[in-house]
Amino acid sequence: MNKAERIKNATTTIFKAVFPNTTNHYDTLFGGTAMQMMDETAFIAATRFSRQQMVTVSSDKIDFKKAIPAGTIVELVGYITHVGNTSLKVRVDIYVEEMYSDYREKAVSGEFTFVAIDENKKPVKVI
C-alpha cells in the first residue's frame, strides 16, 4: 500500500452522545473533554497510519467555533495532514448534530503532533 492509500485508510471517525456528566454549568461540553476526545481520535488515526507506538507531543491551535450542547451527537473526524521523519500531524474536526433534526455544523478543529517511539521510548522513523 502506498503512502496516499495509507493516509486515506487511517482516517478515523468516532461518534459520541453528549450527556450532562460531560457538560459545564452552561450545559455545553467541557473544552477539556472535547480536547480529550480529539486527542484519542488523533491517536487512533496516527496508530492506524503507522502501526507503531505513537505518543502525543503537541496540540496546535484548537479552535472552538461553536458550543456543543448537552443532548447532541458529536462526530470526530481525524485525518493525517503531514508525515515527517519521526512524527506526523493529525487534524481533528468535531461536528455537532442535533439528535432529532438534520442540523449539523463544525464546532471544533485542531491539530495534534505525534512521534513514533521504540520500546525504550526513543523516537524512531515513521514507516
Stated pTM of the model: 0.95
pLDDT, tens digit, 9 for 90 and up, residues 19-63: 999 999 999 999 999 999 999 999 999 999 999 999 999 999 999
Residue listed under C-alpha cell 492509500? 5
Sheet order of strands, 87-98 included: 12-17, 72-83, 87-98, 104-117, 53-64
Residue 93, sorted as left (phi over 0), alpha (psi -120 to 50) or beta, turns out to be: beta
